[in-house]
Amino acid sequence: MSEMESLGAAPILNDGQVAGNCAISPRYLLSLCSGTATATGAAAATAAASGSAGAPSAAGAATGTAAGAEADTRSLLQSGLALVSMSGKPPGHRLDPARDFVLVQSFDRAAWSARYRCAARHQPTAAPTAATAAVSSSGAAPAGPSAAGPQAASSPAACSAPATCGAASVAVAAQPAVPGPAPGSAAAAGGGGCGSGAVRPSSDSPLLAAALSPGAAEAYGWALAPTVVLHGHALAEGEGLAYAAEELGLPISQRATLFSTPEDLAELESVFRSHPYPQHTCYIRRGHGFFLLADCVAEARRHFESLIVPWLRRCQQQQQP
């Protein structure tokens, strides 16, 4: 994300926040924790999934506590569709895996609302900071196989008593489903979580989670399911769109729509079905930007550098006096 921003693929919007976002599949984090990489990998997965603090166990704590915490973490990850980056990222802020991602658990397309878990709101800094111990949980109806994510808005709710999640004691806030804007409208903005004290999911979560949901491969006719998504605002119009079509041969949606709406999602799903992954790894939403799918973070970076960066470099050179 930092490289996207520095190269111009994640521009600053009218509200002063940075466009562009990313998401990772909970399945990918589970695979990182299942092998020999258990200490650091499991701690990072726990923090990223629940927003919980990775505090060390008290001296003399029972061995079963760690096992139970690991089981809780796995259960939490297994319940999710996607870990999506925060809404409203300030310019220059480096995403903190422990605090700046929201676990989208389910999505109701009819109501355009979601169930998610997120970390408490914090003051963004230029470098990663310690994980928070506050977690909020919203409620919504389960989603179908091709479920997507929420809009960036929510209703306030009273916090309940502290509960245990993973390896830390966290305060859990129960609240109604997170409502999105009416179909066809622009994405909503606003607070989220308990008393607006929580990190909100990206308004592009419907698109991000649709690609990473467990039923995505079957829904779109893919041979494999991706585990990482990278979305930026480049190659969407004008010369950039022509470059994507003529020089890269990337699949491009037919219509331009308002961002983060049912129509926006429908256009993306149309190119998903007509150009299956992994034969195709980068899709262009006309007027919105690129949508890059990958099997791991390293592969996502390679695709970005081979497909997107050359155009961004060309644009930078053209802007030089």
Q: What is the mean pLDDT of residues 190-213?
A: 73
State how far the Cα of 262 lies from the Cα of 184, in Å rounded to an integer: 7
Q: Which pLDDT band holds residue 289 (cuts at 50, 70, 90)?
A: very high
Phi then psi dihedrals of residue 101, to 5 deg = -125, 145
Strand 159-165 and strand 134-138: the pairing is unpaired
Give 91-153 as a 3 state SS string.
CCCCCCCCCCEEEEEEEECCCCEEEEEEEECCCCCCCCCCCCCEEEEECCCCCCCCCCCCCCC
State how far the Cα of 178 lies from the Cα of 297, in Å rounded to an integer: 29
Of 124-133, 165-174, 227-236, the poorest mean pLDDT is in 165-174
Residue 49 tokens, joined: 């999934």
Q: Which pLDDT band holds residue 84 (cuts at 50, 70, 90)?
A: very high
Give the model's pLDDT for residue 316: 84
Instruction: Give strand pairing partners of 293.
Output: 229
Position with higher pLDDT, 109 vs 65: 109
Could you tell me if 142 and 179 are in contact, meaning their C-beta atoms sit under 8 angstroms apart? no
**263 pLDDT more than 80:** yes
List pLDDT tens digits, range 52-83.
434 444 444 555 666 676 777 777 788 789 99
Give the model's pLDDT for residue 321: 75
Percentage helix, strand, coil for the chain under 3-state DSSP, each rounded to 5? 30, 20, 45
Residue 110 tokens, joined: 């009819």
Could you tell me if 158 and 238 are in contact, meaning their C-beta atoms sit under 8 angstroms apart? no
Instruction: Give strand pairing partners of 144.
Output: none
Q: Which pLDDT band holds residue 26 (cuts at 50, 70, 90)?
A: very high
SS3 263: helix
Of 196-200, 233-237, 287-291, 299-303, the poorest mean pLDDT is in 196-200
Range among 118-132, 191-205, 240-254 with highest mean pLDDT value: 240-254
Give the model's pLDDT for residue 203: 87
Give the model's pLDDT for residue 65: 66
Give the model's pLDDT for residue 38: 38
State how far the Cα of 285 lies from the Cα of 298, in Å rounded to an integer: 23
Q: Which pLDDT band holds residue 273 (cuts at 50, 70, 90)?
A: very high
Residue 155: CB atoms within 10 Å: 13
Q: What percent of the chain has pLDDT over 90?
A: 36
Q: Which pLDDT band holds residue 124 (cuts at 50, 70, 90)?
A: very low
Alpha-carbon distances, residue 16 vs 88, 197, 198 (angstroms): 9, 20, 19
Could you tell me if 72 and 166 are in contact, meaning their C-beta atoms sit under 8 angstroms apart? yes
Position with higher pLDDT, 82 vs 98: 82
- Cis? peptide before 278, omega within 30° of 0: yes
